[in-house]
Amino acid sequence: MARDKAVLWHPFTQMQDWVRDVPGPPLCIVAGDGNWLVDVDGNRYLDGVASLWCNTHGHRHPSIDSAIRDQLDRIAHTTLLGLTHPKAIEAAEAIVDLLPTGLERVFFSENGASAVEVALKMALRYWQLEGEPDRTTFVSLEDAYHGDTIGAVSVGGIDLFHEAFGPLLFPGVHAPTARRRPDGSKPSLDELLSGMEAALRATSGRVAAVVIEPLVQGAAGMQCFPDGYVRGVRNLCDDEGTLLICDEVATGFGRTGKMFAVEHDGVAPDIIVLGKGITGGYLPMSATVTTGGVYDAFLGLTEEGRHLFHGHTYSGNPLAAAACVATIEVFETERTLEQMAVNDHVLAAHLEKISHLGPVVDVRRRGYMVGIELDPDTVATPLPARAVCQAVRLDGVVLRNLGDVVVWMPPLSITSDEIDLLGSATAKAIGALR
Ligand SMILES: *Cc1c(COP(=O)(O)O)cnc(C)c1O
């Protein structure tokens, strides 16, 4: 730990706390085993946030491990710039097979934020190529989170993460989030959609795309939108004649109980952004997938310069692509979504109990995306959600809060016994707040 503290700068971490062991000594993870993490002292912890929302089928899954090893015996990396390789082709085919009809062209990047940048550039450039160069404005949601690069932050809306970087950001327009109001009420479907309609009306003719996290705004604290919202936004985009970008980096690959969140409303966006679970949480990979219509606009002679000027060194990396293909296969072989549906009532029962605990003001959930919001004014403990995440370690659970929200984002492979542990450890820690 002394060596860590001497050299590492951890993401989204107040390092002054970290080096002083606040709120507790950091864990050093040396191994994984199914839904569990193992620390340097051999202690085992349930991976309650799926190693930052990305693990889907557990750690050291035999078939994902062997797919990566098999690829390693061939080649670890080759480029998609001017060359191709079998695993990128297989991964793209497998992704297209899963997605709603119409999304058929896959552009690989290395992380969610980069894939969002690609989506923004694709949309902007699409309108230039289509002869509507005034469509340069992006409409996004209040409290949105699309990653930490400058374009992704520009369409973001979380003040704590984004405000400081204001001078670097391009302007945009925000539509209302589903966050509960100070009086405890939540906006209705009609209110949310008329807010979006107003944002589109104010920018009519200038909108390059509407960008949303469909169904659940993750980093905003698991804010859940009502059914019908994504369909409503799709219709509004069609009326305005603009593109819809759905960022499914968090919600994609089974998180919400369907393979993609847009399926709940039976909607297809023009561009979908994928990341996190795309490799089962094994290796960095993301994808921006679009329609034949958007793709076709970029076709022409090389010297016309219509092609997309964007790419990353490790775009479509073969090891990551192998993990992606194997991860998608496991959804089939282990019937992951069916198993989630079977365990759903176990999760629901724990959350029902937790919702009655004193400091809990709201419990939000869609599939295996859960936010338990605490009211810091009801307890003396400062940063109570952080304190809860620290306390559950004593019961062998790793969690990470978002502000006042305790998050559960377990691997989709979590068993009912493990859900029981997650539920009882969290309830105990919240109950112990003073
Ligand atoms: C995590 C996340 C991102 C950013 O992905 P990175 O791989 O961390 O860059 C983008 N959008 C959403 C909705 C996310 O949850």
Please give the Cα distance from 52 to 410 (Å, whole number): 9
Q: Tell me the pairing of strands 286-291 and 271-274.
A: antiparallel
Protein residue with its CA nearest to atom 5 in ligand 1:
112
Q: Which atom of ligand 1 is nearest to the CA of 152?
A: 10
Q: Which atom of ligand 1 is nearest to the CA of 219?
A: 15
Same domain for 177 and 318, yes or no, is yes
Protein residue with its CA nearest to atom 15 in ligand 1:
250
pLDDT confidence of residue 249 = 98
pLDDT confidence of residue 285 = 98
Domain end residue (candidates: 286, 311, 333)? 333
**How far apart are the CA of 250 and the centre of ligand 1, in A?**
6
* Ligand 1 pocket check for 249: Cβ under 6 Å: yes
* Ligand 1 pocket check for 145: Cβ under 6 Å: yes
Which of left, alpha, beta for 287 (phi over 0: left; psi -120 to 50: alpha)? beta
Same domain for 103 and 170, yes or no, is yes
* Ligand 1 pocket check for 213: Cβ under 6 Å: yes
pLDDT confidence of residue 160 = 79
Cβ-count burial 69-78 (b if 16+ within 10 Å, e if not): eebeeeeeee
Q: Which two tokens stand for residue 119?
A: 């989506």
Which residues 6+ apart lie within 8 Å of 332 measured at CB?
A: none
Domain end residue (candidates: 280, 299, 333)? 333
Q: How many CB atoms lie within 10 A of CB 4?
A: 12
* Ligand 1 pocket check for 110: Cβ under 6 Å: no
405-408, strands of its sheet edge to edge = 360-366, 369-374, 405-408
Instruction: Estimate the crossing angle of helix 384-391 against helix 416-431, to 10 degrees.
Output: 130
The pTM of the full predicted model, rounded to 2 decimals, is: 0.98
Domain count, the chain: 2
Domain end residue (candidates: 298, 333, 368)? 333
Cβ-count burial 31-56 (b if 16+ within 10 Å, e if not): ebebbbbbbeeeeebbbbbbbebbbb
Which residue of 12, 117, 146 sits with most ligand 1 atoms within 8 Å of its CB, as the best mutation to test the pocket? 146
Same domain for 236 and 359, yes or no, is no
CB of 251 within 8 A of CB of 261? yes
Same domain for 165 and 200, yes or no, is yes
**Residue carrying the six token digits 């959804």:** 331
Same domain for 225 and 84, yes or no, is yes
Report the CATH number that the domain containing residue 284 is assigned in CATH.
3.40.640.10
- Per residue, what are the HEC states of 208-225? EEEEECCCEECCCCCEEC
Please give the Cα distance from 26 to 23 (Å, whole number): 9
Q: Domain of 127?
A: 65-333
**How far apart are the CA of 302 and the centre of ligand 1, in A?**
33
CB of 288 within 8 A of CB of 25? no
Report the CATH number that the domain containing residue 426 is assigned in CATH.
3.90.1150.10
Same domain for 315 and 340, yes or no, is no
Dihedral (C-alpha) 345, 349, 352, 353: value to the nearest 10 degrees?
A: -170
* Ligand 1 pocket check for 144: Cβ under 6 Å: no
**How far apart are the CA of 217 and the centre of ligand 1, in A?**
11
Q: What letter would DSSP give residue 59?
A: B
Of 196, 162, 163, residue with least CA distance to 178: 196
* Ligand 1 pocket check for 143: Cβ under 6 Å: no
**How far apart are the CA of 83 and the centre of ligand 1, in A?**
28
Please give the Cα distance from 221 to 370 (Å, whole number): 9
* Ligand 1 pocket check for 250: Cβ under 6 Å: yes
Going residue by residue through the chain, which has 434 residues, state the pLDDT in tens, using 9 for 90 and above: 999 999 999 999 999 999 999 999 999 999 999 999 999 999 999 999 999 999 999 999 999 999 999 999 999 999 999 999 999 999 999 999 999 999 999 999 999 999 999 999 999 999 999 999 999 999 999 999 999 999 999 999 988 777 889 999 999 999 999 999 989 899 999 999 999 999 999 999 999 999 999 999 999 999 999 999 999 999 999 999 999 999 999 999 999 999 999 999 999 999 999 999 999 999 999 999 999 999 999 999 999 999 999 999 999 999 999 999 999 999 999 999 999 999 999 999 999 999 999 999 999 999 999 999 999 999 999 999 999 999 999 999 999 999 999 999 999 999 999 999 999 999 999 999 99
**How far apart are the CA of 283 and the centre of ligand 1, in A?**
14
Q: Which atom of ligand 1 is nearest to the CA of 149?
A: 9
Same domain for 203 and 290, yes or no, is yes
* Ligand 1 pocket check for 218: Cβ under 6 Å: yes
pLDDT confidence of residue 162 = 76
Same domain for 112 and 10, yes or no, is no
**How far apart are the CA of 218 and the centre of ligand 1, in A?**
9
**How far apart are the CA of 109 and the centre of ligand 1, in A?**
12
H/E segment holding residue 72: helix 62-72
**How far apart are the CA of 378 and the centre of ligand 1, in A?**
32
Same domain for 349 and 329, yes or no, is no
* Ligand 1 pocket check for 371: Cβ under 6 Å: no
pLDDT confidence of residue 345 = 98
Same domain for 198 and 105, yes or no, is yes
Same domain for 342 and 426, yes or no, is yes
Same domain for 363 and 315, yes or no, is no
